[in-house]
């Protein structure tokens, strides 16, 4: 099993450009999450989804949009990139429906390192 | 508003020593407290987790101690090894819908041989 796959792994954008980060999971998980990780700031939740066709805002949603048209995919979009969005982005998924222990485990992808110049 | 506060920010220990990472939370409704381990260039991975109805959980060299009244929990790594060198995040979540995690800022552990 691949688990959670993120593409691309690296990307450099110019201010104002747009891009989409793709997250794919093959574990049939209901819940998916997008985080950003910045030095000294830990992991901060951007948006999340509790099922196909649903999305919700997290802690730092401004400047980002998401879509979950298929259960296995969760897309993160930057419409007009800003230098403040330079970060490492992580996608995660969890089952959401299994027993207490299993449903709470979030499985992370390897991350996308994004630089906005 | 930071709901989970983690300390210290970094720690250096010798091989065989004990590593201790502390976290404090504010929201008394949190009911699940995991620790995640992250190696350079990788995504975080669950290390160990605890629910507030127990005061301690041990898995191998890793132990979580939980103090509900003080709203604090800690990770103890016994017999620390160079392979334990990583960044450790504590987190908390509120059950019943999205199981969103609120993470601490992380602690970089270096274990010298």
Q: Identify the CA nearest to A19 among candidates A28, A10, A30, A29.
A: A10
Answer yes or no: are the C-beta atoms of B21 and B75 closer than 8 Å: yes
Nearest chain B residue to A57, by CA: B100
Chain B residues within 8 Å of chain A (Cβ atoms): 6, 9, 32, 34, 41-46, 49, 51, 89, 93, 95, 97-106
CA distance A45 to B43: 14
Q: Identify the CA nearest to A42 among candidates B89, B97, B55.
A: B89
- Beta strand pairing call for A10-13 and A112-116: parallel
Q: In the predicted model, what is the mean pLDDT of residues B18-43? A: 94
CA atoms within 13 A on the CB side of A15: 4
Q: In the predicted model, what is the mean pLDDT of residues B33-45? A: 95
Nearest chain A residue to B48, by CA: A105
Whether B43 and A92 lie within 8 Å, measured CB to CB: yes
- pLDDT (tens digit per residue) in B61-113: 999 999 999 999 999 999 999 999 999 999 998 876 677 899 999 999 999 99
**Chain B within 8 Å of A21 (Cβ-Cβ)?**
no
Give Cα B38 to chain centroid, integer Å: 11
Q: Which residues of A touch B95 (CB under 8 A)?
A: 100, 104
- pLDDT (tens digit per residue) in A4-48: 999 999 999 999 999 999 999 999 999 999 999 998 889 999 999
> In 10 A of CB A57, how many CB atoms?
13
- Rama region for B83: left / alpha / beta (φ>0; ψ in -120 to 50; rest): alpha
C-alpha separations of B27 from B31, B48, B102 in Å:
9, 21, 11
Answer yes or no: are the C-beta atoms of B86 and B37 closer than 8 Å: yes
CA distance A30 to A78: 24
Q: In the predicted model, what is the mean pLDDT of residues A89-107? A: 81
């Amino acid at each position: 099993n691949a688990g959670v796959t993120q593409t691309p792994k690296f990307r450099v954008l110019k201010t104002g450009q747009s891009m989409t980060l793709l997250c794919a999971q093959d574990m049939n998980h209901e819940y998916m999450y997008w985080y950003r990780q910045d030095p000294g700031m830990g992991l901060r939740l951007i948006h999340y989804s509790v099922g196909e066709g649903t999305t919700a805002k997290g802690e730092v949603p401004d400047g980002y949009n998401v879509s979950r048209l298929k259960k296995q995919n969760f897309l993160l979009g930057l419409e007009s990139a800003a230098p403040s969005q330079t970060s490492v982005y992580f996608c995660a998924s969890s089952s959401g429906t299994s027993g207490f222990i299993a449903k709470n485990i979030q499985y992370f992808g390897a991350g996308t390192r994004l630089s906005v110049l | 508003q930071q709901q989970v506060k983690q300390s210290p920010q970094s720690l250096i220990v010798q091989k065989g020593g004990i590593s201790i990472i502390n976290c404090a939370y504010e929201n008394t409704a949190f009911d699940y407290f995991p620790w995640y381990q992250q190696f350079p260039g990788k995504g975080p991975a669950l290390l160990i987790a605890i629910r507030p109805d127990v005061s301690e959980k041990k898995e191998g060299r890793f132990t979580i101690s939980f103090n509900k009244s003080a709203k604090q929990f800690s990770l103890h790594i016994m017999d620390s090894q160079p392979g334990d060198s990583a960044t450790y995040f504590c987190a908390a979540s509120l059950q019943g819908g999205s199981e969103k995690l609120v993470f601490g800022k992380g602690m970089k552990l270096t274990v010298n041989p």
